[in-house]
């Protein structure tokens, strides 16, 4: 257990880096869910509003609620789910504000994410070349993950 504890030499306190990361993830998910992106909820509301007439047709076909959900509702909202999933994934790679305000990459650089590392290398250490190479890597990483999501969407997103 002693090997997991890092000492913050500025304030003389000891921290468990995993606990700091877990707290940061919880706060980020709370902030993202409730405050950050209203656009995700707007996309779902618009999708559900467009389904009202289609669901009425399902009532006339006398399908049960369970069957109507899996045959009509879920296939119709999968494009919105996919779009929101892509937006959340891209935004999660770009977490900077919470890391900068709460921990500044510490304790012991345990909450150092790529976007904070770009800022740290570029503006605190004035190492612009290294910061730009990290930025290109972050772009390539987001591009690769998004490409995988677009390749996998053929199996579960229905555009019919």
Q: Which residue has the higher pLDDT, 5 or 29?
A: 29
- Helix 38-50 × helix 74-93 angle, to 10°: 170
Q: What pLDDT is recorded for position 130? A: 93
Of 36, 16, 17, give the one whose Cα is nearest residue 95.
36
- Quick one: average pLDDT of 2-11? 44
- Quick one: average pLDDT of 22-28? 66
Q: What pLDDT is recorded for position 157? A: 82
- Quick one: average pLDDT of 37-46? 73
Question: What SS3 string covers 9-59?
Answer: CCCCEEECHHHHHHHHHHHHHHHHHHHHCHHHHHHHHHHHHHCHHHHHHHH
Calculate the alpha carbon distances from 39 to 63, 77, 80, 89 in Å. 32, 16, 11, 14
* Residue 49 clears pLDDT 70, i.e. is over it: yes
- pLDDT tens for 91-149 read 778 777 777 777 776 666 777 888 888 988 999 889 999 999 999 999 999 999 999 99
* 33/89 Cα distance (integer angstroms): 13
Of 108, 101, 86, give the one whose Cα is nearest residue 39.
86
């Amino acid at each position: 257990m002693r090997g997991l504890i890092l000492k913050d030499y500025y304030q003389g306190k000891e921290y468990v880096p995993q606990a700091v990361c877990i707290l940061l993830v919880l706060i980020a998910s709370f902030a993202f869910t409730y405050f950050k992106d209203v656009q995700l909820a707007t996309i779902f509301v618009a999708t559900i509003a467009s389904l009202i007439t289609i669901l009425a047709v399902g009532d006339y076909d006398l399908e049960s609620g369970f069957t109507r959900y899996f045959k009509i509702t879920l296939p119709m909202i999968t494009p919105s789910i996919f779009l929101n999933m892509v937006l959340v994934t891209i935004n999660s790679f770009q977490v900077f504000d919470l890391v900068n305000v709460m921990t500044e990459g510490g304790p012991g650089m345990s909450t150092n994410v790529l976007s904070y590392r770009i800022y740290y290398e570029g503006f605190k250490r004035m190492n612009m070349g290294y910061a730009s190479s990290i930025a290109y890597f972050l772009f390539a990483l987001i591009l690769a993950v998004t490409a995988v999501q677009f390749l996998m969407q053929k199996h579960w997103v229905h555009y019919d």
